[in-house]
Amino acid sequence: MIDLRSDTITKPSDGMRAAMAAAEVGDDVYQEDPTIAELEARTADLLGHEAGLFVPSGTMSNLLGVWLNVPRGQEILCDELAHIVRAEHGSHANLHGITSRTWSSGGTGLASAAVIEALIAPPAGFLVQTAGVEIENTHNFGGGTIQPYDELVRINQVCRGAGVNMHLDGARLWNAHVVTGVAMRDYGTLFDTVSVCYSKGLGAPVGSVLVSNRANIDRARLQRKSLGGGMRQAGILAAGCLYALDHNVDRLADDHAGAAALAEAVRDRAPQAVGDAPQTNIVVLSTGARASGEVVAAAQQSGVAISGVGPHTVRAVTHLDVTADDCRQAGEILGKLLA
């Protein structure tokens, strides 16, 4: 089976397991785990922030990041396909009393400064106050799209001008960085809080890091504990993330090449199924009149696992546990199915 359902399905390599087994650990609720401290400091430095916090998932990282920026009873603005509003089970509202308003980007996930400027609520007693804007880069349900850096700078200017905070869901910021060459720090410093995932394309089994200023991270550390996210000798996990940071960032280019080859192989056989060339490691395919579930089942029968993302769309995600050959072969199989 060529499993392209997600880049979360990767398993730790032998080298990563060895690094995890050898990790120096301590009780992190007492802040005595040197491996976690190292991961937090390195991630913060990489993104141009003062401090970092290791958390079990990207969802918890976003939950804490948005909470730092938006008081109870106020709102966050984001894309209608954002992970925070589509895949986090209402937790920002449910646990933190935060509401959201969304903009539409026609399925691309891409944000525009003009659209955001028009959405920010003016200070008025009868309107929900806009406290934060959330950007996702790359954009998962938008098909792995990259937010253009110049537009992010303009969005930052709009938000700064309006006194609105900014959170970046950078679950796959690594992928954007590898394609554009924009430094992680240049992306990171545009935002008040940034979340990055080590468990997606970087291949670690568990872990995300939230970065911000020291005061914010001190607050988030207490809130993480109250959410049940205080972990003990979790340096074993952080060691996997450090290994990923040292070995698996630049190789994301291979995943992007695999996605491009897959899309081309589909295009050769079923041009109507493929839209724009993939920007990173996510290939979205149209199933035309056929239900996506039916195509997912047929692909499974032919040895390719993909996932349905809409009634007539499926996606294939490339990652470090598939080869270039697997990607091309999967594209041929999917192309025949969709022809």
Ligand X SMILES: *Cc1c(COP(=O)(O)O)cnc(C)c1O
Chain residues that interact with ligand X, rule: CB under 6 A = 57-59, 62, 83, 136, 140, 169, 171, 197, 199-200, 208
Nearer to ligand X, 5 or 200 (CB): 200
Output helix, strand, coil percentages for the chain, rounded to the nearest 5.
45, 15, 40
Least Å distance, CB 208 to ligand X, is 6
Helix (H, G, I), strand (E, B) or coil at 33: coil
Nearer to ligand X, 144 or 258 (CB): 144
H-type alpha helices, the chain? 14-21, 34-46, 58-69, 83-86, 91-96, 113-119, 149-162, 173-180, 184-188, 214-226, 235-247, 252-269, 292-301, 324-338
Least Å distance, CB 171 to ligand X, is 3
Least Å distance, CB 111 to ligand X, is 13
Nearer to ligand X, 59 or 279 (CB): 59
- Rounded Cα distance between 45 and 171, Å, is 17
Least Å distance, CB 337 to ligand X, is 26
Q: How far is CA 159 from CA 119, 149, 151, in A?
A: 11, 15, 12
Q: What is the largest CA-CA distance in the chain?
A: 60
- Rounded Cα distance between 283 and 281, Å, is 7
Least Å distance, CB 91 to ligand X, is 10
Nearer to ligand X, 59 or 105 (CB): 59
Least Å distance, CB 250 to ligand X, is 21
Nearer to ligand X, 109 or 335 (CB): 109
Nearer to ligand X, 23 or 197 (CB): 197
Q: Which residue is nearest to ligand X (CB)?
A: 58
Q: For the chain, report the end-to-end CA distance as a whole number of angstroms.
A: 21
